[in-house]
């Protein structure tokens, strides 16, 4: 099997998995994060600093929570596009957007081959999605391509706390408790076992900063949220 074949298979498996849990996805996000996922997305949008009359991409939008944070909670007049390769998630996002009476364009797209012209967006946000890319470097390269000069990327992703006890407690919850709750409610065992596995595999903090810089981002930095169980990364495109 070639690298391209393996990448395609991985993407298909992830799409199928998220499609299966889509109906209970929002509920489980609130439950398993104790509501903190709302706070984390708000912090990401604070950092994105959306401006009226600009255009923003919410990549790996899922059910469009971050896109709705921009349009509804911020009452922004910015144009917002949400992109995701999981169509059941997008369908739920469309229902939520109609309920809120907001105009958000939701597009089926893979993060490593975005269907947008160069320099299309003033900012791109991706919340808990970059670790699901088969090739995160390729995804970052595509994001850089579609950003305008001085455009900002904001990435929200799970990480491991630095404090030894918090790290142990977090890993116990993440590896032992969370998959059990997720399995009972979603009836999909693989999805909530995949979550801790993908987080433990993903480059942490300084390593992800280096990955962003290697793909051409500048002014790259990060900060920890909620004792370091989530990290917020950002960087800009400089032409």
Residue 95 DSSP SS3: helix
> What is the secondary structure of 141-179 as a DSSP string?
HHHHHHEEEEEEEEEEEE---SSHHHHHHHHHIIIIIHH
Q: Per the structure block, which two tokens stand in for 37?
A: 């996922």
Q: What are phi and psi of 106, to 5 degrees?
A: -110, 125
Would strands 79-84 and 105-108 be described as parallel, antiparallel, or unpaired?
parallel
Asked whether the beta carbons of 106 and 74 are under 8 A apart, the reply is: no
- Report angle CA 118, 95, 77 to the nearest 5 degrees: 50
Residue 123's alpha-carbon distances to 126, 143, 190, in angstroms, are 10, 9, 33
Going by C-alpha positions, the residue among 62, 29, 15 that lies closest to residue 181 is: 29
Q: Around Cβ 18, how many Cβ atoms within 10 Å?
A: 22
Q: How many residues comprise the chain? A: 239
The answer to the question of whether 7 is labelled as a binding residue is no
Q: What is the C-alpha to C-alpha distance for residues 124 and 186, in angstroms, rounded to an integer?
A: 30
Residues annotated within a binding site for S-adenosyl-L-methionine: 63, 84
Residues annotated within a binding site: 63, 84
């Amino acid at each position: 099997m070639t690298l391209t074949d393996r990448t395609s298979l991985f993407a298909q498996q992830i799409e199928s998995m998220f499609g299966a849990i889509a109906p209970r996805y929002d509920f489980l996000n609130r439950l398993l994060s104790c509501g903190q996922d709302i706070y984390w997305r708000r912090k990401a949008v604070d950092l994105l600093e959306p401006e009226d009359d600009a255009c923003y991409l919410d990549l790996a939008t899922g059910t469009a929570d971050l896109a709705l944070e921009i349009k509804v909670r911020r009452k922004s007049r910015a144009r917002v596009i949400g992109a995701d390769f999981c169509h059941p998630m997008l369908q739920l996002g469309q229902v939520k957007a109609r309920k809120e009476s907001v105009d958000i364009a939701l597009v089926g797209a893979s993060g490593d081959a975005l269907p947008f012209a160069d320099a299309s967006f003033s900012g791109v946000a991706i919340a808990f999605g970059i670790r699901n890319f088969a090739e995160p470097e390729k995804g970052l390269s595509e994001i850089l391509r579609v950003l305008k000069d001085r455009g900002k990327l904001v990435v929200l992703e799970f990480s491991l706390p630095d404090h030894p006890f918090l790290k142990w407690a977090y890993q116990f919850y993440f590896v032992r408790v969370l998959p059990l709750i997720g399995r009972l409610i979603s009836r999909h065992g693989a999805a909530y076992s995949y979550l801790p596995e993908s987080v433990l595999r993903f480059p942490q903090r300084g390593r992800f900063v280096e990955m962003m810089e290697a793909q051409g981002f500048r002014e790259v930095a990060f900060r920890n949220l909620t004792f370091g169980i989530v990290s917020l990364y950002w960087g800009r495109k400089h032409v």
